[in-house]
Structure 1
Amino acid sequence: MKHLKVMVLVLTIAAVLLWTVNIDVLAVRLGEDMIYAIRMNEEKSFSIRWTHSVEKEEWEEFFQFEGENINLDSTRFKTFGAGVPNNAGTNSFIRDGWVYMVNINRYVGDELTVRSGKTTGHRLIYQRQMFPLPYQQNSYVICRERIPFASYLFHTISKNM
């Protein structure tokens, strides 16, 4: 009986800790639903990659968290098209068939809204892992959040079932 009480006490303490210890996640929401809760570490950058709907070429924008705020750091694309600035940032160059524009440093805010298309194949990339953002009627919202570790575990387990 004494062992049972000790085990119940240990499990209770563990449960409380799981709900009181918060972690940083790169959150992707669709409305109120959290689509992805990606555990963040020291890496503060991520990118959004897609196929341009007109040019049919790959585009990628690189973002950096500065605290809770998101800044557009750089972009790369295969070809110039309508609406593409001829210069952005402090430097532009071509490497491996990509046109790069770097050091853009454009403040986005504490959320990045992404609208995916039916044929654009949007995806978020964090630490070389790709997270698809398939076409939806509503926009995705990407931000940094602090959530209880228990919520993160629940989300991760439920998404992998």
Structure 2
Amino acid sequence: MTNKQPNKLLWLVSGAAGIAALMFFTLWMGFAQQSVVEVRVAGLEGDDDKVCYFTDPDFELRWIHSVEKQWWEEQYQRMDDELLLTTTYFEAFGAGTPSTEKLAPVQKPGYLGYQIDEKLPNLNWVVSRLTKGEINYGGHRFLIHQWVPDYSEVVIMPKTYGLIDRLEKDLCHELPSDGSQ
């Protein structure tokens, strides 16, 4: 009979420790926050917004300019609650293109780059299939012009997600770029 008491006590202590660890883990995961860049497109005609995110702090917007028909690129960094436009690169440009900024410290072959360093709370970007808009980050290329209807306004903003947010939303590079869900 004395042999069963230590086993029962061991089971009770182990069970209580397991439950406490599970509760701690659940609370920690519920409150753990992660900085992300959210990509949101307002739903049309009562549809839900399309939303995805990525965790890389550096990203690039790339599109074909509607007049020059050449690639333009903008490099960004997520900084807490702002985005920093660091550099722009143009294959060709014309009237109205900013050219008073310092040259970018790293020049890309076939492009002219400028150092910008402008902080923005978010980006509002209209994309279409004609301009072939894309977002590049962390070795991923997200063809946003194939994910949303033409002339959709895309809002790109820094956010902080908890575990529930991350489970409810998709990573952008895991979505089909053809617009299907």
The offset of 1:11, in angstroms, is 5.8
State the partner residue of 2:51: 35
Identity %: 22
Separation (CA, whole Å) in 2 of partners of 1:145 and 1:83: 32
Computing the radius of gyration from Cα coordinates, the structure with the larger value is 2
State the partner residue of 1:25: 36
1:112-149: CA deviation from partner (whole Å, max 9, x where unpaired):
11111231111111223212222534311111111112
Separation (CA, whole Å) in 2 of partners of 1:138 and 1:151: 24
Separation (CA, whole Å) in 2 of partners of 1:80 and 1:142: 25
State the partner residue of 1:153: 167
Residues 155 and 80 (structure 1 numbering): CA distance in 2 closer, same or farther, change over 3 Å?
A: same
SS in 2 for 1:150: helix
Residues 156 and 13 (structure 1 numbering): CA distance in 2 closer, same or farther, change over 3 Å?
A: farther
Q: Aligned pairs, how many? A: 152
State the partner residue of 1:120: 131
Separation (CA, whole Å) in 2 of partners of 1:90 and 1:17: 45
Gaps of 5+ in 2: 1-10, 43-47, 176-180
1:105 aligns with 2:121: no
The offset of 1:34, in angstroms, is 4.9
State the partner residue of 1:96: 109
Could you tell me whether the CA contact under 8 Å between 1:72 and 1:106 is conserved in 2? yes
**Regions of 4+ moved over 6 Å:** 5-10
Could you tell me whether the CA contact under 8 Å between 1:29 and 1:141 is conserved in 2? yes
SS in 2 for 1:56: coil
The offset of 1:9, in angstroms, is 7.2
Separation (CA, whole Å) in 1 of partners of 2:58 and 2:79: 9
1:85-127: CA deviation from partner (whole Å, max 9, x where unpaired):
3x2322269641111112x12232x111111123111111122
TM-score in terms of structure 1 length: 0.75
Indicate the structure with greater helix content.
2
Residues 156 and 118 (structure 1 numbering): CA distance in 2 closer, same or farther, change over 3 Å?
A: closer
